[in-house]
Amino acid sequence: MRYKKSNLISHENNYIIPDDYWNEHPHLITCATELQKLKLDLLKKDSLAKDIDKLILSNVMVSILDTFNKKNSTSVDAIKIGKEIASRLQGNVDGSLKEINQTIVKTLAKYDLNDTNDDFLGFLYQLLQNQLGRKSDGQFYTPKKVVQQILSQVRLDVIKDKLIMDPACGSGQFLIEAFNELDKLYEQANPELTKPDRYSRILSSLLGVDIDNIACSLAQFNLLKRAAFLAPIIPKMICANTLKKSSDLFNLDPLSEFERKVNVIIGNPPWGAKLTTEEKNYFKKNYQIGDVGLNSFTLFIERSLDFLKEEGGRLGFLIPEAYLKIKNHQLSRQQILDKCKILTLQICGDVFKKVYAPALIIVVETAKDKDQRQNNSVKLSKSLSENNNFGIVPQSSFYSTHENIFNINHSGDSESLKNKIKNQDVRYLKGNALFFLGIVTGNNDKHLTKTNGDPRQNRILVGSDVNKFKINFSGNYFIYDKDQLQQVAPKGYYLEPEKLLYKFISSKLIFAYDNQSYFMLNNINGVIPRIKEMRSRYILALLNSKLMQYYYASSFFTVKVLRGNLEELPLLLASEQEQLEIEKMALEAEKATNESGFEKTTKMIDEAIYSLYELSGKDVDFVDKELSTSFL
């Protein structure tokens, strides 16, 4: 488990424990629950919450050491190091703490903790902090399969990788899995090594940093335990704020010695930690991305690039999927493009139980050579299984995308087809259309009504009223008064005798034709095409077509239909007769009264537009295949 706490990273008790942990270790859950209940009882007598946490955790360490030492062959020095960690965590036990400590020892005497899970201490710490006994409490617990997948994509090397770091290590979950991976690699590469030698080498290569001193103690102990207390090595843990760069004679940076020296960085850095004004000012001053919307995980990305070796250093993080396309993260994406080859972008979906937080695995490798970066091919995956790769995308495409979006729908074949589409006799909405926004009332309940008794009232559309080719007016009315409304376009725009309306929040293009002078709320935008020799309903059919949906999604990869993106769509100038035929089909789709009739007509429109753009059967199959993926 990793923690985000105090100083420059705020604490969020928002951790989710996966079901498999509870199912695999019922006796540990019983133990942890009893200790949690014990803490609540003790707090009725004392307000020493942090001291009680330390007593419980240190006594669990001692119990693990005692039972492990009795049942296994261990290193005397390693056991000694473990006891020193427990003693340092426990601190002085005097006064009322003596009685509390005795109660904890008696409670633990009932349990055999020899077979504790690798991160039992981290789980217990979170349970104690939250003071809640339900599974759904706590912070984001990274599922083991996600950690393992990151490590498989980073591809550790026992020869090259002398230093592996987790900059927000918590109780050491990622470092434990790194230990596991290195153990397998060492067995293959150096089978002659004894376990103590092998484990000593592994521990010497791992480095954890966390702002929470208790978490650092837990991580140290967890790694010693993973090494079966055979390696007399003190795991390298630094209690520090990873994000704090500045140092002076009176405030030395304990991490400065590792800059440009780390081979591999792994982890799940904190997402969305709340920052104070003072913290924001600090980051603006000390970070390149400080002038844009700050997020703790992008700060960790920038800081990690400081630690990685300038050539061949690898980073594997679990971060929000939104990183691929959100404008606020553009500077961070540029940092990656300017310094790294992107090895893997892997969509993970909602990996955190009961939390809507679609996640992404990103793996990059530092590379000084610009040509090497631009000629790199990025491996794309759509699930946690390495066998479910769905394509390769040239990194060069990310340099030219809108806001440097990492468009995972792009490919070499896609680029070739898009060039074929736009290299015909096409026109663009840019400079040939009037775009305008829907109305923001400021209070829809106040301004919208279902009754139409006032001559000043106008019909207004809500988001659900607009679908492909169709407007289904749901009977909402309002009074256009720009002095009473929060945001409006000039009234004349809404009253235009012919305009196109489209949904603004959507990953798909959804356009409808309006010749009834509807007003609309701000989840619907409007465009008045003014392309010479191009009919509005024909443009409507183009924008609603499969072909244009493919072109749009493979170019922009966004859930907002932005004006700038629409202005870049290549609209083919067909003959008057061809436009009239497609316009007739668009009108049929608009008037279709059943789903089968609508689908039949839109299929005819798609086929006609494929033909206009002179797509081959192979091209059409490629478009259909691309549109069938979950990302389009």
CB 300 within 8 A of CB 243: yes
Interacting residues of 250 by C-beta distance below 8 A, sequence separation 6+:
none
C-alpha 83/C-alpha 81 separation (Å) is 5
Q: Where are the domains of the chain?
A: 261-408, 426-628
pLDDT digits (tens, 9 = 90+) for 132-181: 433 333 346 688 889 999 999 999 999 999 999 999 999 999 999 999 99
CB 41 within 8 A of CB 87: no
What's the pLDDT at 15? 42
User: What letter represents residue 530's amino acid?
Assistant: R
CB 469 within 8 A of CB 593: no
| Mean pLDDT, range 258-278, rounded to an integer | 91
| Mean pLDDT, range 348-355, rounded to an integer | 70
Q: Is 451 exposed, middle or buried (0-12, 13-18, 19+ CB in 10 A)?
A: exposed
First to last CA, the chain: 34
The per-residue pLDDT of the chain, averaged, comes to 88
C-alpha 318/C-alpha 524 separation (Å) is 34
User: Is the domain covering 426-628 a CATH 3.90.220.10 domain?
Assistant: yes
CA atoms within 13 A on the CB side of 162: 7
CB 205 within 8 A of CB 35: no
What's the pLDDT at 349? 79
What's the pLDDT at 30? 81
What's the pLDDT at 215? 94
Asked whether residue 131 carries a pLDDT value surpassing 80, the answer given is: no
Range of weakest confidence among 250-254, 271-275, 382-386, 415-419 = 382-386
C-alpha 374/C-alpha 579 separation (Å) is 41
What's the pLDDT at 11? 33
More confident site: 458 or 11:
458
pLDDT digits (tens, 9 = 90+) for 494-514: 999 999 999 999 989 999 999
CA atoms within 13 A on the CB side of 533: 12
| Mean pLDDT, range 528-542, rounded to an integer | 97
Structure-derived torsion over alpha carbons of residues 224, 228, 231, 237, reported in degrees to the nearest 10: -10
Q: What are the beta bridge partners of residue 472?
A: none
CA atoms within 13 A on the CB side of 471: 22
| Mean pLDDT, range 237-248, rounded to an integer | 86
| Mean pLDDT, range 549-563, rounded to an integer | 87
Interacting residues of 105 by C-beta distance below 8 A, sequence separation 6+:
59
What's the pLDDT at 135? 36
C-alpha 116/C-alpha 27 separation (Å) is 9
| Mean pLDDT, range 362-366, rounded to an integer | 98
| Mean pLDDT, range 530-535, rounded to an integer | 95
Distances (CA, A) of 119 to 1, 103, 122, 352, 444: 7, 24, 5, 17, 50
Q: Is 454 helix (H, G, I), strand (E, B) or coil?
A: coil
pLDDT digits (tens, 9 = 90+) for 309-327: 999 999 999 999 999 988 8
What's the pLDDT at 14? 36
CATH superfamily, domain 261-408, is: Vaccinia Virus protein VP39 (3.40.50.150)
Q: Is 74 helix (H, G, I), strand (E, B) or coil?
A: coil
- 248: phi then psi, degrees, rounded to nearest 5: -145, -175
pLDDT digits (tens, 9 = 90+) for 58-85: 999 999 999 888 888 899 999 999 999 9
Q: Structure pTM?
A: 0.80
- Name the nearest CA neighbour of 362 among 309, 298, 452: 298
Range of weakest confidence among 2-6, 232-236, 342-346 = 2-6
Asked whether residue 253 carries a pLDDT value surpassing 60, the answer given is: yes
What's the pLDDT at 13? 34
Q: What are the beta bridge partners of residue 231?
A: none
Asked whether residue 186 carries a pLDDT value surpassing 60, the answer given is: yes
CB 498 within 8 A of CB 515: yes
What's the pLDDT at 3? 46
CB 202 within 8 A of CB 179: yes
Q: How confident is the model at residue 632 (pLDDT cuts 50, 70, 90)?
A: very low
CB 605 within 8 A of CB 541: yes
